[in-house]
Structure 1
Amino acid sequence: MDRRDCDIAIVGGGLSGGLIALALARHRPELSVRLMEGGPRIGGNHRWSWFASDLSADGEALLKGFRKAEWDAGYDVRFPARERTLATSYRSLASTDFAAALERELAPGTMLVGKEVAAIAADGVALRDGSRIGARTVIDARGFAATGDLTGGWQVFMGRHVRTSEPHGIERPVIMDACVDQLAPWGNGGAYRFVYVLPLGAHEVFVEDTYYADSPMLDRSALSGRIDQYLRARGLEGEILGFETGVLPVVTGGDFAAFQRAQAVPGVAVVGARGGFVHPLTSYTLPFAVETALAVARDADLPGDQLAARMEALARRHWRRTGFYRLLGRMLFGAARPQERYRVFGRFYGLSAPLIERFYAARSTLADKARVLVGRPPVPVLRAVRALIANPPRLLAPHRKDHS
């Protein structure tokens, strides 16, 4: 019989894996857990944000111990034909604070960094250094894998954390500033561009240049130059404290069962973006990672194969529940010309604040869906029809470009 080193082994120390480890420590402290991360630190180099209305009371409680930025005065959006302040509270968590909280709360020896995985199985994890960690239950919390079974586009971004020499005077987050060049070159395709701004302190601001793009190409040089221009134009230049980049899928359809089969390991539970627990249009993950972590803690006594089946069923349910957002994504990428995609979001942000809250939380009602779809469409009708019947592009592995 193989040696068992822990009750539950979690592969992947990102948001989903870290929150599962935390939920288990809070609700099932008698269980031994190993959280394995191949990189040099838990959480990587990321910033996760969400609306306060996205979380249940239990979800709020799970995040209570984290140091995070909080804005209760709402947030702004800016479009060429509309500027608006919405009252919904907003939150943001940096990966450094995420890792620090886990370090405080998890039992010594729980977190294992720099541990590259060679293979996973229902009863343990084989590491590239030749060692093995045996477990009753194994959870795969690694990142999204582009298997080619899903379709859609990409959300590509570069963020920069800056300390300004003078107070910047920004009071609220700017979730979308689409009053920027929509004709910026983007490979062989196109993209809807907006800038995302978080005031982290009187002299600190996080600015992210974001694209809903046909291509997953990330050109660091081009994006860095555009951030420079944005900061210069608004007097936000200063000392660079940090930066991040990312390429996230915007899922519009595909064969979800095949996506699950392509990365399934018998008896291993799959969670996070790898399991499909994302908002298909906004690419937000934190609310779903929180709920998944709580679900794992509730079902922690299940044998590994039963927990795997439970997570697989929850992922299928999430896929069914979020079909409306995939439909909108198809319209966005297939019907709206790249330089005109901002009109789709501009119209959306003219709707009621409660509807927008439910949309981001993936809890839109039937009335919400009807309200989003009725009225004068922001895209040509013929192009919309073609988008619904066309075969959208498959999501394949992204690539990065360091130079223009």
Structure 2
Amino acid sequence: MPSIIPCDIAIVGGGLAGGLIALALAKQRPGLDVRIVEGSDSIGGNHLWSFFATDIAQDDRWLVAPLICYGWTHYDIAFPAHRRTLKSAYYSIESERLDAVVRAALPSEAVMTGRKVLAASPTAVVLADGDRIEAKGVIDARGSGDLALLDLGWQKFVGLEFALEEPHALSGPIVMDATVDQIDGYRFVYTLPLSATRLFIEDTYYSDTPDLHRPQPGTGSNADPIADRVRAYASAHGWATHSATREEWGVLPVAMGGDFEAYWQSGGNKVAKAGMRAGLFHPTTGYSLPDAVRLAALIARASDLSGAGLHTLTHDFARRTWRARGFYRMLDKMLFRAAGPDERYRILERFYRLDPQLVRRFYAGQSTMMDKARILTGKPPVPITRALRAILGGKPA
């Protein structure tokens, strides 16, 4: 017989955003009855999230500190005409760690994995098995809303983790290696040294389409060109690999514009939202971790955790964040519409010649007026007429 499950806060979606909210509430509001509902069998899925220390405010670092699996003090970038090592603390979190920390922080009955959600309202969640959660407030963190309402480019990637036959010589990550062939837009390879004999290598594309060519079950085709390029990259660097121990792939939005309010409502009107569903991602990188941390800490401090109060809190935070990031969306228009696909790397190559502090603030979404002026001054890496046409809404000829 279907059950009614009462609680204070129900979090729908056990990805990064939902997991961080659950942890923040468990730490700061231990008296609350919190439930986190996830359709798969684990919290966090199959992901490796990375961030710079400066992406997270000092007052919020308590939230991510227990999750960190790897850390480095510097990273490298490489372009055809420019290579550089930047000193900056850089960290990675594995989804398995998020799952373990959430389960340790919450009572066992609060982590409701393997439970499919049919519908969510400001104060209720209907499950596919007939059970119903009745909460004082509901937060929906189930992936994205209707992305067709936004003007987007795409960052798509395939990453493989390898056990090596011999130790590698890397002392830190290669966050961006654009010396590779430029295919399907701006292409770079991202490498994390997880141990002396473990590497995570990801092939990334800033592409005009979200199409990610992976083997399709039932088609009889095992073609996997992006994974093949990852293996070729490892071989070219002399890293003798065994079979991949883990794979990760995905497609992230790169925002150039769109109707924020329509996007918000597409995810469910009057329901509080978090993560991609709230439109909380960096317009240029597509990364959502810094915003997810900020929102989770904000929710944990909130005095009104009712359905209506949470909706107002999350909507207003997301709207302020969207409005504050118009500069990044303008840059994305230049990247995708002023530069031809095989020229896009020049824009990033020029960017990485700038002051390291500017680069850190850019990734954190905290660029100053001086930063913005510096990014736009000097010799442009694309023709000025095409840049102006892109900013004003046109597309390259």
Query: Is 2:8 the partner of 1:7?
Result: yes
- Residue in structure 2 matching 1:227, options 230, 247, 254: 230
- Residue 399 of structure 1 is matched in structure 2 by none
Is the 2:68–2:91 contact (alpha carbons within 8 Å) kept by the matching residues of 1? no
Secondary structure of the equivalent of 2:10? strand
- Residue 193 of structure 1 is matched in structure 2 by 187
Residue equivalent to 2:376 = 373
Q: Runs in 1 of length 4+ with deviation above 6 angstroms?
A: none
Q: Does 1:49 align with 2:40?
A: no
Aligned to 2:17: 16
Deviations 1:282-339 (A, max 9, x none): 1121111111000111115432112101111111100111111000000000001111
Q: 1:251 corresponds to which residue?
A: 255
Q: CA–CA distance in 1 between the matches of 2:247 and 2:353?
A: 32
Structure 1: how far apart are the matches of 2:172 and 2:277? 32
Match of 1:35 in 2: 36
Q: Are 2:213 and 1:212 equivalent residues in the alignment?
A: no
Matches within 5 A, 1:113-128: 113-128=113-128
Query: 2:301 matched to 1:307?
Result: no
Contact 1:152 1:251 in 2 (8 A): yes
CA distance in 2, matches of 1:263, 1:53: 30
Query: 1:392 offset after TM fit, Å?
Result: 6.9
Cα pair 2:4 2:131 within 8 Å, conserved: no
Contact map agreement 2:146 2:267 (CA 8 A) in 1: no
Using structure 1 for the length normalisation, give the TM-score. Answer: 0.92
Equivalence for 2:360 = 357
Q: Which residue of 2 aligns with 1:270?
A: 273
Q: Which moved more, 1:121-130 or 1:198-207?
A: 121-130
Moved more, 249-258 or 53-62: 53-62
CA RMSD of aligned residues (A): 1.5
Q: CA deviation at 1:108?
A: 2.1
Q: Secondary structure at the match of 1:208?
A: strand
Partner residue of 1:83? 83
Deviation at 1:259, TM superposition (A): 1.0
% same residue: 48
The reply to whether residue 318 of structure 1 matches residue 318 of structure 2 is no
CA displacement, residues 351-392 of structure 1 (integer Å, 9 cap, x when unaligned):
001100110001000000000000000111121122122367
> Amino acid of the residue matched to residue 158 of structure 1?
V
Q: Aligned residue for 1:187? A: none
CA distance in 2: counterparts of 1:302 and 1:75, whole angstroms: 40
8 Å CA contact 1:4–1:136 kept in 2: the answer is no
- Name the SS of the counterpart of 1:200 in structure 2: strand
Contact 2:338 2:395 in 1 (8 A): no
Cα distance in 1 between the residues matched to 2:114 and 2:5? 21
Secondary structure of the residue that 2:358 maps to in structure 1? Answer: helix
Secondary structure (helix, strand or coil) at the match of 1:288 reads helix
Q: Does 1:242 align with 2:246?
A: yes
**Cα deviation, residue 270, structure 1:** 0.8
Provide, for residues 226-257 of structure 1, a one-character-per-residue CA deviation record: whole Å limited to 9, x for no partner: 11111111122323210100000001101111
Q: Aligned residues, how many?
A: 384
Structure 1 residue matching 2:153: 3-state secondary structure: strand
How far the C-alpha of 1:54 sits from its partner, in A, is 1.0
Further displaced range: 78-87 or 49-58: 49-58
SS of the aligned residue for 2:108 comes to coil
Q: State the distance in 2 between where 1:391 and 1:7 align.
A: 49
Q: Tell me which residue corresponds to 2:144.
A: 144
Aligned counterparts of 1:325 and 1:147: Cα–Cα separation in 2: 18
For 1:131, the equivalent position in structure 2 comes to 131
Residues 184-232 of structure 1: CA deviation (Å, up to 9, x unaligned): 3xxxxx4100000000000001000000000000012111111111111
Asked if the contact 1:161–1:207 (Cα under 8 Å) also holds between the matched residues in 2, the reply is yes
User: Residue 24 of structure 1: SS of its match in structure 2?
Assistant: helix
CA-CA distance at 1:132 after TM superposition: 0.8
Corresponding position of 2:220: none
Q: Give how far 1:67 is off.
A: 4.1
How far apart are the structure 2 equivalents of 1:40 and 1:391?
A: 45
Residue 75 of structure 1, CA deviation: 0.5
Tell me, which stretches of 5 or more residues in structure 2 are unaligned?
A: 215-223
Cα distance, 1:4 vs. partner?
Answer: 5.6
- For residues 250 and 237 of structure 1, the distance between their equivalents in structure 2, rounded to whole angstroms, comes to 34
- 1:324-363 → structure 2 map (5 Å cutoff): 324-363=327-366
* Counterpart AA for 1:242: R
2:197 corresponds to which of 203, 224, 231: 203
Q: Distance in 2 between matches of 1:122 and 1:137?
A: 6
Q: Is the 8 A contact 1:152 1:330 kept in 2?
A: no
Distance in 2 between residues matched to 1:59 and 1:109, nearest whole Å: 27
CA apart distance, 1:153: 0.4
SS of 2:146's partner is coil
Farther off after superposition, 253-262 or 342-351: 253-262
Contact preservation (8 Å) 1:147, 1:262: no
Task: Indicate the residue corresponding to 2:155 in structure 1.
Answer: 155
- In structure 1, give the amino acid aligned to 2:22: A
3-state SS of the aligned residue for 1:64?
A: helix
Q: Show structure 1 runs of 5+ residues with no match.
A: 185-189, 394-404
Amino acid corresponding to residue 168 of structure 2 in structure 1: H
Distance, in Å, in 2 between the alignment partners of 1:90 and 1:147 is 30
Whether the 8 Å CA contact 2:213–2:225 is kept in 1: the answer is yes
